[in-house]
Amino acid sequence: DFELKKYTLLAYLQEINRNFQENKLYPQLADVIFHYNNLVAFRENKKFLQEQFPKKLTGMQMEKIQVLYEQMIQDDELMRELEDIIEYSTAHMKTAITNGTEIYEFVEDKLSIHPVGIMPMNSKEGYFLLCDGSANETRAYSYYLSFFEKHDEKYRSMRTEYIDSWQRSIINTYEQI
């Protein structure tokens, strides 16, 4: 039922957008991209399969030197409704993906990373200090980076653990922390 799927999708995307408004991208952005890619792949595979079925010759166009064919196998009511659901879903998912990637790109653009102190031998783990440029509070976190593949795409994972926070001062510099 198109209406049921429409409201199910809208509820899902409403939850995704609520997380995006809170600047929470993981795992929602990856999930919505995964579902979007599945819908696009389904549509493309269906089109490819339809092109492989035999066609019935219906005529010739002499002006364009072209042979005209008609599909022998047509979509039934269920398949047409599924196509409508996919068309509706991909359009709305594309908007959600755009919203999420805007946040991702904003963070990536505004985030500055500078080494402080001794560089570790293993760059996949270490510590990072996080502060708001206007505030004196600095938070320290430990991190561990890993890479994984999910559905033919490579992702970077960063596991963090909060350690403590300090007030920056003459005594508590970044190097001292």
Distance (Å, rounded) from C-alpha 157 to C-alpha 160?
Answer: 10
61 and 125 both lie in a single domain: no
Question: pLDDT over 70 for what percent of the chain?
Answer: 86
Mean residue pLDDT across the chain: 83
Structural domains in the chain (count): 2
For 46, phi then psi, to 5°, come to: -65, -45
For 28, phi then psi, to 5°, come to: -60, -45
Distance (Å, rounded) from C-alpha 107 to C-alpha 149?
Answer: 23
106 and 139 both lie in a single domain: no
pLDDT above 80: residue 46: yes
Helix 2-21 to helix 77-110 angle, to the nearest 10 degrees? 0
66 and 97 both lie in a single domain: yes
155 and 120 both lie in a single domain: yes
Distance (Å, rounded) from C-alpha 177 to C-alpha 175?
Answer: 6
pLDDT above 70: residue 126: yes
pLDDT above 80: residue 151: no
Nearest to 127 by CA among 148, 145, 139, 142: 142
What pLDDT shows up at residue 112?
67
118 and 101 both lie in a single domain: no
Q: What tokens does 126 get?
A: 């270490």
Residue type, 160: T
176 and 157 both lie in a single domain: yes
pLDDT tens column, 99-118: 998 998 888 787 766 666 77
79 and 39 both lie in a single domain: yes
Q: Which residues pair with 129 in a beta bridge?
A: 140
Question: pLDDT over 90 for what percent of the chain?
Answer: 29
129 and 159 both lie in a single domain: yes
Distance (Å, rounded) from C-alpha 5 to C-alpha 67?
Answer: 40
DSSP letter (8 states) at residue 177: -
What is the pTM assigned to this prediction?
A: 0.67
Question: Is the model more confident about 8 or about 173?
Answer: 8
What pLDDT shows up at residue 105?
85
What pLDDT shows up at residue 149?
66
Nearest to 165 by CA among 119, 132, 123: 132
Domain hosting residue 135, numbered range: 114-177
| The last residue of a domain, from among 111, 139, 162 | 111
pLDDT above 90: residue 16: yes
